[in-house]
Amino acid sequence: MGIATYNVWYSATYERIFDMANWSEFSSDLDKKIVCVFAWMPQAIMNIHHSGKGKNLVTKASIYDPIKVYQVFEELKSVAKYFKDKNLTDTDLDDSLVKNRICKLCNPLFSILGSVATSKFLHFSYPYFFIMWDNSLRKKKQCKNSQDGYWEYLKKAQKALKNKRIIKLAKKEYKFNPVRGLDVYWMKTK
């Protein structure tokens, strides 16, 4: 997917998502945030398959009821709060505390929301630290669809954001946040 197929609505609606919920508190407005994240994706929440292949596919909605989802997000609130003042460009991702917290968030959230929706939820919650991914970008960057794969993806994004040419291209895409700018740049060039 190159620039010709990049959906301009992803850029046109990006800022509005911040207006739709209280993104500064990780577990508040959870229903609004989940609606925002899944509305921004090509696949609706109720139709996402949880696991398996073939005739017996089950949806995430049939496994995770809202009460369970709220409980998980409440339990993760203190872990997530760690990223409130962090940014990707100057955080040591190899620090075991940082990696551990990323994995503590991703492990349950990937199961509930899926990895793509989780990356979007984390990005809107902490836009200067977490970059979004989709399956084609993940594959292009040769990252596994797992918490460790997402950590590797963050490392690749961080490395890219240390390249002056990439920083310039990212700022051209979104001047207010290099993490978002890099996301748009990678989406347009995948």
pLDDT at 3: 46
The answer, yes or no, to whether residue 4 has pLDDT greater than 50, is no
Q: Are 166 and 189 in contact (CB under 8 A)?
A: no
Give the side-chain half-sphere CA count within 13 A for 94.
2
State the average pLDDT for the chain.
88
Q: Are 137 and 88 in contact (CB under 8 A)?
A: no
pLDDT at 1: 42
**Per-residue pLDDT band at 6 (split at 50, 70, 90):** low
90: its two tokens:
């100057």
**Which ranges of the chain would DSSP assign to H, the alpha helix?**
9-12, 14-19, 30-39, 60-63, 66-81, 96-113, 115-125, 135-140, 147-160, 164-173, 178-188
The answer, yes or no, to whether residue 23 has pLDDT greater than 90, is yes
What does pTM read for this prediction? 0.81
**Per-residue pLDDT band at 94 (split at 50, 70, 90):** very high
pLDDT at 147: 94
What's the whole-number mean pLDDT along residues 143-151?
95
**Per-residue pLDDT band at 129 (split at 50, 70, 90):** very high
